Structure 1
Amino acid sequence: MTQTAYQTPLVVVGGWGVDAAMLLPLFDGWPGEIHLVSLTDTLMTRCESVAEVADYLLDHYPCPSVWAGWSQGAQVAMAAAAQSDLQEARVITLAGFPRFTAGPDWPVGMSAESFNTFRDAIASETGPAWRHFQQLLIHGCEDYLKARKELQPWLKQGASVTSASLIRGLEWLEREDQRGLWQELPVPALHLQAEQDAVVRSWAGSFAPARSANVITVPGMTHWPRGQAVARCREEIHRFAFSTGDSWQI
């Protein structure tokens, strides 16, 4: 039986070193269950790859669902969508990417030098390096003082995983290349890119995902979707998730 908007579960997967709950304002009023998944020590230690995390989550969360992934969580959500044989599945990526590190045929990724420097910093000074990354989540926003205030509770909470798990997540970022998967994904996808992203360079002009995918660059959005960008993201998510005519109060 086809689900209506009022029955649609949502699985939200957070990114590297961040709490999935930081995305909740995007889905305020979602007409169905919301399952928040952060990349915790439990997940990071029991799984050897992004694909294994996706397998684990598919076994533990309801299908069909709308899947949303933020940053590294976008790769998990895309892997889950690719492995699901349920035609009603849809997937949303927020500040996501098919590949994180640069290569001869992927110039929009992070350079090997910058990546290795950051990995060394996480290994030797986990706390300061993690806090520096958190600041990058809001870098480029117009209302920086307000953004810092909103970020402060998450900074005080601290990293929710160990240094070993953070390094494992970086290893996944270094080797994961989903370009083929993104180009062949059999289910509808919405890719929301951040205009002011200080973590991930835009790939919109250099990479074409599947024809069923829609790529939108959100004005003013930083790597952490917040502020005025939230309303635009919610509008696009609503249009995408319930394009059959079902409604979601936004």
Structure 2
Amino acid sequence: MSALVLLHGWGLSHRVWAPLLAALPGHAMLTPDLPGHGDAPRAGPRLADWSDAVAAGLPKGCTLAGWSLGALLALDIARRHPDKVARLILTGASPRFTATDDWPCALAADTLRDFRTAFAAEPDATQRRFVALQALGDHARRNVTQTLTAALTPADTAHREALADGLALLADTDLRPILPAIAQPVRLLHGARDALMPVAAAEHLADALPHARLSIFADSGHAPFLSRPDDFATLVEGARHD
């Protein structure tokens, strides 16, 4: 079976995967930090810079599982480095995180703009707000908040520029045009109560990707792998055999 690689979301680190790793014992898994997060060096400011940096450490033919910003990277890696990716598992995913006139199923543009402005002035407080948004609506909100907070990459001088780059990627990236070119099978996992990224974004992905299936967690927010790790692990196992 191919290696399972887990890509976390903005502002966090590989530590966020601990509950899922416990639910998937005995599997070959890699949990790299995103560029400029955790212990990983900063890449350039473009999505391609981040994708190339992550892809360099991937084994060929892996199952690439991305969450939130990690899902954007996973899609871009699958397109630009198809030999590295046999299948995709995307959680809390969207091809575009910022709403436009022709893309309403996303965060309002002024919301992300405010996050970027706030992060420049008060990075620690902004990260806490982002954690609260990711846990909102989840039946296990308190536990999700605690786990996310413990997994944060500190917004110190060593990481702040890379974290700002990540917010810019969330604000500016639009991968809708590349979706028909994603040839790998894709399993989409999404929380019905996701307050950061509406289910409609995952439904769009399910329609636009050539080989995609969507499963929805009725009582979860943006991080169902934290609130329902055992159920999430079962679906991951199934996706690896698709």
Match of 2:138 in 1: 141
Q: What SS class does the counterpart of residue 208 from structure 2 fall into?
A: coil
Specify which of 34, 48, 53 is matched with residue 29 of structure 2.
34
Post-superposition CA distance 1:90-149 (Å, at most 9, x none):
111111111000111100121121111111110111111111111222111223344444
Check 1:228–1:73 CA distance in 2 against 1; reply closer, same or farther (3 A cut): closer
The alignment-based identity, stated in percent, is 24
Q: What SS class does the counterpart of residue 56 from structure 2 fall into?
A: helix
1:213 is displaced (CA, Å) by 1.0
1:189 is displaced (CA, Å) by 0.8
Q: Measure the CA separation in 1 of the matches of 2:73 and 2:149.
A: 27
Gaps of 5+ in 2: none
After superposing on structure 2, the runs of 4+ consecutive aligned residues of structure 1 that deviate more than 6 Å are none
Q: Measure the CA separation in 1 of the matches of 2:84 and 2:113.
A: 40
- Note if 1:16 corresponds to 2:28: no
**Which structure has the greater CA radius of gyration?**
1
Range moving further from structure 2, 232-241 or 48-57 = 48-57
- Note if 1:93 corresponds to 2:87: no
Match of 1:117 in 2: 114
Q: RMSD in angstroms over aligned alpha carbons?
A: 2.5
1:30 is displaced (CA, Å) by 5.3
Range moving further from structure 2, 188-197 or 228-237 = 228-237
Match of 1:248 in 2: none
Q: Structure 2 matches for 1:1-250, cutoff 5 A? A: 5=1, 8-27=2-21, 28-29=23-24, 31-41=26-36, 45-86=42-83, 89-151=86-148, 153-154=150-151, 158-159=154-155, 162-202=159-199, 203-206=201-204, 208-226=207-225, 228-243=227-242
- The letter of the residue matching 1:175 is D
The number of residues matched between the two structures is 236
Gaps of 5+ in 1: 244-250
Q: Given that residues 18 and 159 in structure 1 are in contact (C-alpha distance below 8 angstroms), is that contact kept between their aligned partners in structure 2?
A: no
1:61 is displaced (CA, Å) by 2.1
Q: Given that residues 218 and 232 in structure 1 are in contact (C-alpha distance below 8 angstroms), is that contact kept between their aligned partners in structure 2?
A: no
TM-score between the two structures when normalised by the length of structure 1: 0.83
